Amino acid sequence: MNWKPLLLMVVLSQMTCHQVPLLAPPGTDMSCGPNPPAIAAFNGVSVISCLLIEGETGTPVADGTVVQFFTNIGRIPEQGKTNDGVVRVNLEADGRSGEAIVRAASGGGSLPTSSSSVTVTTAPVQRGVAASEAGSVVALSGVMNTAEVRVVIGNANARRVLVSANPQRITESRSSQITATVFDEFGNPVAGVPVFFGIGDTTIVGPSPTPTPTSTPTATPTPAPQTNPEGTNTESLDSQGTPIYTDTNGRATDVLRTRWPREGRQRSVTVTVTVPVNNLTGEVTVTIN
């Protein structure tokens, strides 16, 4: 029996099942960027794009070049393959907030022991951009071609909070809706941020409502403002101290309710808002009667 054809078939099958992955050649410039650079902690997705240019020829690497990906927060595919020198993978949020550091690597050798040899970029990668302008990294001798990008996930990018009341003066309804809106540094709403509502100072600001006069009224002097007079703790919030998380519009809403009598003197109540992320605070004043 001739074993040579059978042996050849076995060798070919092994080569087919265990193909060596195509890696970037030494000296390849790799530049990566996220789009967008900030995502929500839940269901947020950022597209990580990397452009690989061979250092010697200045041309894109071969199609199918394998690039490995790593991240400290979130989920990302273990690897992707280039097409026209570009590889794209999705970084998906996993509910945790913070700064995701995504590293891409391709080629032989070992990863750098320090991130000091890696240039970070926060701008999306575009074809035709010079490597030095896109945050690329030239591979060192015996070191993998690598690049890093950073993506802000969740409420870590909260920078400002605005507070409003509707209505700002309580009359017949005896309640007011308090809304806190959280923004990032670019003015975009931030979802998933915990907001704590509280009641601050109460101050008498005017006299009691007077009935419609039947004769010539006499002047009633306005009393001086009093802060936190005894027995005026008549307001409450529906949240009762538990956090309310912002929605996709960056808004968290609570309800201020008062038991202050309608015939009581006019007073003001300060509602405070605290966002533990980056120690953000805000307040709004509501007038009663």
Q: How confident is the model over 237-278, as pLDDT tens digits?
A: 999 999 998 988 999 999 999 999 999 899 999 999 999 888
Which amino acid would we find at residue 118?
A: V
Q: Quick check: 71 and 91 in contact, CB under 8 A? A: yes
Whose structure tokens read 């750098």?
112
Q: 3-class SS at 64?
A: coil
pLDDT of residue 138: 36
In the CATH scheme, what is the homologous superfamily, with its name and number, of domain 20-156? Immunoglobulins (2.60.40.10)
pLDDT of residue 232: 52
Phi-psi region for residue 58, left (φ > 0), alpha (ψ -120 to 50) or beta?
left
283 CB neighbour count, 10 Å cutoff? 16
| Beta strands at 280-288 and 169-170: parallel, antiparallel or unpaired | parallel
pLDDT of residue 109: 53
Q: How far apart are the first and last CA of the chain?
A: 106
- φ and ψ of 244, to 5 deg: -115, 130
Q: Is 270 exposed, middle or buried (0-12, 13-18, 19+ CB in 10 A)?
A: middle
Helix-strand-coil percent breakdown of the chain, rounded to 5? 10, 45, 50
Rounded to two decimals, the pTM is 0.53
Higher pLDDT, 129 or 22: 22
pLDDT of residue 118: 37
Q: Where in the chain do CATH 2.60.40.10 domains reside?
A: 20-156, 158-210+224-288
Q: Select the highest-mean-pLDDT range: 16-30, 64-78, 118-132.
A: 64-78
The DSSP call for residue 116 is: G
Q: How far is CA 155 from CA 188, 252, 259, in A?
A: 12, 13, 35
For residue 153, what are its two tokens?
Answer: 């996930």
Q: Is the pLDDT of residue 128 over 80?
A: no
Q: Is the pLDDT of residue 205 over 90?
A: no
Task: Say how far apart CA 48 and CA 92 lie, in whole Å.
Answer: 10
State pLDDT tens for residues 91-117. Answer: 999 888 888 999 999 986 555 444 433
Task: Say how far apart CA 288 and CA 267 lie, in whole Å.
Answer: 5
Of 75, 71, 80, 78, whose CA–CA distance to 24 is shortest? Answer: 80
| pLDDT, averaged across the chain | 79
Task: Say how far apart CA 59 and CA 125 lie, in whole Å.
Answer: 16
CA 57 to chain CA mean position, Å: 40
Q: How far is CA 11 from CA 5, 8, 15, 21, in A?
A: 10, 5, 6, 18
Task: Say how far apart CA 43 and CA 40 lie, in whole Å.
Answer: 7
User: Looking at the domain that runs over 158-210+224-288, which CATH code has it been given?
Assistant: 2.60.40.10
Confidence of residue 174 (pLDDT cuts 50, 70, 90): very high
